[in-house]
Amino acid sequence: MNHTVEAFDKRTAELVFEVPVPHGNIERLRTIMRWSNPEDEIYGYDLDQEQIKQLEALIGRAFYDSAYDFQLGCHGSE
Computed over its alpha carbons, how large is the radius of gyration of the chain? 12
Which range marks the domain in which residue 32 is found?
A: 2-75
Distance CA 72, CA 49 (A): 13
Domain count across the chain: 1
Q: Any idea what the CATH number is for the domain that residue 42 is in?
A: 3.10.50.20
- Residues 8 and 71 sit within 8 Å (Cβ to Cβ): yes
Start-to-end Cα distance in the chain:
9
Model-level pTM? 0.90
pLDDT at 35: 96
Give the pLDDT confidence of 8-67 residue by residue, as tens digits.
999 999 999 999 999 999 999 999 999 999 899 999 999 999 999 999 999 999 999 999
Task: Decide if pLDDT at 77 tops 80.
Answer: no
pLDDT at 78 over 70: no
| Buried/exposed 38-71: b ≥16 CB within 10 Å, e otherwise | eeeeeeebebeeebbebbeebbeeeeeeeebebb
